[in-house]
Amino acid sequence: MIAATWADVAERLRARGLRSTPQRRLLLDVLARTSGHVTGAALVERCRELDPATTPSTVYRTLDVLEELGIVRHAHGADGREEYHVLPESEHGHLHCSRCGVSWEIGAAEARALVAGLQASRGFVADLSHLSVGGVCAGCASA
Amino acid sequence: MIAATWADVAERLRARGLRSTPQRRLLLDVLARTSGHVTGAALVERCRELDPATTPSTVYRTLDVLEELGIVRHAHGADGREEYHVLPESEHGHLHCSRCGVSWEIGAAEARALVAGLQASRGFVADLSHLSVGGVCAGCASA
DNA sequence: ATTAATGCAAACGGTTTGCACTACT
DNA sequence: AGTAGTGCAAACCGTTTGCATTAAT
């Protein structure tokens, strides 16, 4: 979404004295096709599908750079892996069903409503991009 | 807390045809002194302090057994490590401050209130023992 | 020409496994 | 005696790092 954003990443990189390389363009391609969240390992794999020569270190290093640019953000999934969120999506949380393994997103508004009480009662400012709730989804619960 | 519980774990083990060994007793000792949550690695280390001969595999295998007995339950911490919760504590969630690194517990009632909306709107039954919210605590926020 | 970025390979940390051995019951 | 549990060592997975090489600027 917002295709223009992806196009000027190269420019944004150059503005910082960084470089646009084929490997980075590849990862950006993959990210552009990715909505929501992916694990680092999954990104490595998807890149390797398009270019088998892809190496993990380059992917992870590029992700670091993209995070500094604000293009991705990382959190921790229910299984403990690094989970990358593709921007410019707004902040959102996740519901992870422990039965079927599917992850569901909850929007910013809903997420904010969830944690509003925490701020009121404890002064704890939740980071919505790290909010992840485990449990059983409606489908599995009724099955 | 509830010291008697720890004492009859050996019995509970035997009832299932399982055994009480020095290594298991050691881990139970460590767990008895542990309130709240610990990572698996931390448990290995604490055991090793008391008995340097402790090996990780035994600790992790024992934790599996204890989980089946309902004595511990595991979740995933903010940094992705296995995090063990010592029972018979009631269900509770965690707040993890990304600035000072401290974890705070939120009680069952509070946690339930947080996720009540999820069940109402989506039929998603949250597992409170896996509920973990990242953010910035009151102290760090005001500093 | 500079120096950022790559690829390799090796190391990491936490956890898991296979297998022969030990010891609880 | 029988079998659950142990210790070792090696493997695992995702991620990170050092270093010499390549290539974008």
A36: left (phi over 0), alpha (psi -120 to 50) or beta: left
CA distance A1 to chain B (A): 26
Closest nucleotide over all strands to B77 (CA to C1'):
C14
Beta-sheet strands, E only, within A1-143: 37-39, 72-76, 82-86, 93-97, 103-106, 125-126, 132-136
pLDDT in tens, B44-78: 999 999 999 999 999 999 999 999 988 898 877 66
Answer yes or no: do B120 and B137 share one domain: yes
Residue numbers 61-100 of B with CB closer than 7 A to any atom of strand D:
61-62, 65
Residues B109 and B78 in one domain: no
Give the residue carrying structure tokens 């401290």.
B102
Q: Chain B: give the shortest CA distance to residue A128, in Å.
A: 8
Distance CA B77, CA B42 (A): 13
Please tell me which residue lies nearest to nucleotide C6, judged from CA to C1'.
A58
* pLDDT, greater one: B15 or B92: B15
Q: Assess whether A78 and A120 both reside in one domain.
A: no
Q: Is B72 found in the same domain as B123? A: no
B77 shares a domain with B8: yes
d(CA A118, CA B114): 8
Closest-CA distance, A67 to chain B, in angstroms, reads: 17
State pLDDT tens for residues B69-120.
Answer: 888 988 776 666 788 888 755 667 778 877 776 778 787 788 888 888 888 8
**List of chain B residues whose C-beta atoms are within 8 Å of the C-beta of residue A132:** 132
pTM: 0.68
Question: Which pLDDT score, from 0 to 100, does residue A78 have?
Answer: 62
Per-residue exposure over A74-99, b if at least 16 CB sit within 10 Å of its own CB, e if not: bbbbbebbbbbbbbebebbbbbbbee
Q: What is the distance between the alpha carbons of residues B119 and B54, in angstroms, rounded to a whole number? A: 43
Host domain of residue B122: 92-142
Predicted pLDDT of residue A59: 97
Question: What is the CATH number for B120?
Answer: 3.30.1490.190
What's A76's domain CATH number? 1.10.10.10
How many Å from the CA of A13 to C1' of D19? 25
Higher local confidence (pLDDT), A113 or A54: A54
Residue A124 contacts residue A118 (beta carbons within 8 Å): yes
Q: Which residue has the higher pLDDT, B19 or A103?
A: B19
The last residue of one of the domains, among A86, A102, A125, is A86
Do A47 and A16 belong together in one domain? yes
Q: Are residues B23 and B66 in the same domain?
A: yes
Query: Do B82 and B109 fall into the same domain?
Result: no
- Put simply, the answer to whether A124 touches B118 (Cβ < 8 Å) is no
